[in-house]
Structure 1
Amino acid sequence: MSARGAAGARPASMRAACAPVIAAAVRSHPDVITAGADGQALFGPVICADPRRYVEAGIAETNLVAMAAGLARTGWRPVVGAMAPFLIRRAYEQLRLDVSLPGLPIVLLGVGGGLSYGPLGPTHHAVDDIALMSALPRMDIYCPADATDAAHVLRACLPPGRPAYIRLTAREDPPVIDPGEPGDVRAVRTLRAGRDALVLATGRCVAEALAAAEHCAGAGLDVAVAAVTCLRPFPVEQVHKLARDYPLVVTAEEAAGPGGLGDRVATAVGGPPARVTRLCVDNRYPPVGTHEELLAFYGVDRSAITSALTRTLIRKGDHEDPV
């Protein structure tokens, strides 16, 4: 699989990539309906084509989720979109009792997951969304790597058959997935081969990991990079099989640790704790800054990944055999 998307591809928006996928699902499936909290950017094509298939809740996320649950109970299959920090935190009780508990077929699109709303400050950051959604039984969780990946995940989840949360960024992201060969979004996809170490990354950190691997190559270190988009159901056996070939595994995620990629990989890999180095958002409120500045603040950017790799591998010297 290509590690850099289509040749010459530019950064692209996940929202823009998902909008036509949603519109196509509405056209093809008469029981798919959309609902949003100020969701014109995401559901614009649906609103223009058939406004009866879109319900605007305004900035009232609790009502939005409760309404979607009611629609699902009457035979509709809702696709819901809102800003991630407000969709998850404000409506958490409704997500738990109205969606997760009965296992209703609702796809939830959280825009601005992680730190991508950086300049808007802590009110708009959603680094705890994965942890919160991981606490809900029956909820599938996806963290796409780029716009191509986001559209592919959404196609795999439509029409809704079970609860699913898809984290979308708010900005344009570097392309890392080949549109012509996106692979299985529920599987681990190796984007760069290597022998000395393995980086398992999710979301925007996939692009950061690829950049770090290229930098390490200049120091003579051969680092593999794999994208993990599906956090639940987690591909435990595949991760275990892949990781056993490497003396060092680094995980990188733009999310708080509990229930995230690092936790899941450490459980899947087993063995000595030193084999897995986890890079994630720690327990601090961030300053206001750009997306890139906040990735660096939390130590989950390309520089931090490079440091984690070189610090461990160079200290080991002649690389040890896999455990």
Structure 2
Amino acid sequence: MLIRKVSDILSSEITPHSIYLNRRQFMAGAAGLLLPVSAIAALPAAKSPFSSTEKPNSRNDITSYNNYYEFGSGKDEPAIYAGKLKTRPWTVTVDGEVNAARTFDIDSLLKMKLQERIYRLRCVEGWSMVIPWVGFPLAELLKQVQPTSRAKFVAFETALRPGEMPGVARRVLDWPYREGLRIDEAMHPLTILAVGLYGEVLPNQNGAPIRLVVPWKYGFKSIKSITRIHLLEKQPPTSWNMANAREYGFYSNVNPEVDHPRWSQASERRIGEFFKRKTLPFNGYGEQVAALYRGMDLVKNF
């Protein structure tokens, strides 16, 4: 996949929004498919009020250092091998405890009211980034299918394409990749479905064509290349929790007081920086989300 290198600058300082909107088309995915610019023409010039004020990592950082085990366990392997993934045609089915189950075509989702949100990403391995995502609130999609009163959880499933995803030949996980949230977490305004970054369509290695972003949780909760969203009454199984429940809990909130069994979570290293920094509870989003867990034992429910 060809990736244009961009210097380490704020997204607001790259191509002006007005010029961007006048482009006739832009690239999507390694297959070189062309999409009309109207697909993300709703992208606002101003940042979302939910955005971090921190300086984003460079596009090169974000697109070359990834966890995406379907394309390999090495951080560089997704950028090398994800070009095989075909992101058109693509649909996302939303069903389960809903009144109006529906299958959405990806191009219809690209016409949602998109925003740019600069979010911190904290990975369980101890590294972090700041990423300028383009996306829309997951709540806006869920409202369209009308969840029933029995919908307590939301489960997500990644595409499973062995011919395009060489990593699934390794039985690292029980494929397809699965994740889940409580319904109130899913409906929280910080939770988004991302379809782009740095004002451009989402690269394959970052979860094209659509992925979850839950900024107060460890990165593995933000499932990539989603094909199904299923609402249900009981807590769903999730991939890393099934693989190793001792190390990966269902909630996976960033909590510097709960160490991973094999390393401390008290500090993190921002990609591109030498020195470590202190890890913040809920990845710095405590003011917005701590109330979701009032009364919960966050050591037991990690």
TM-score, length basis structure 1: 0.27
Larger Rg: 1
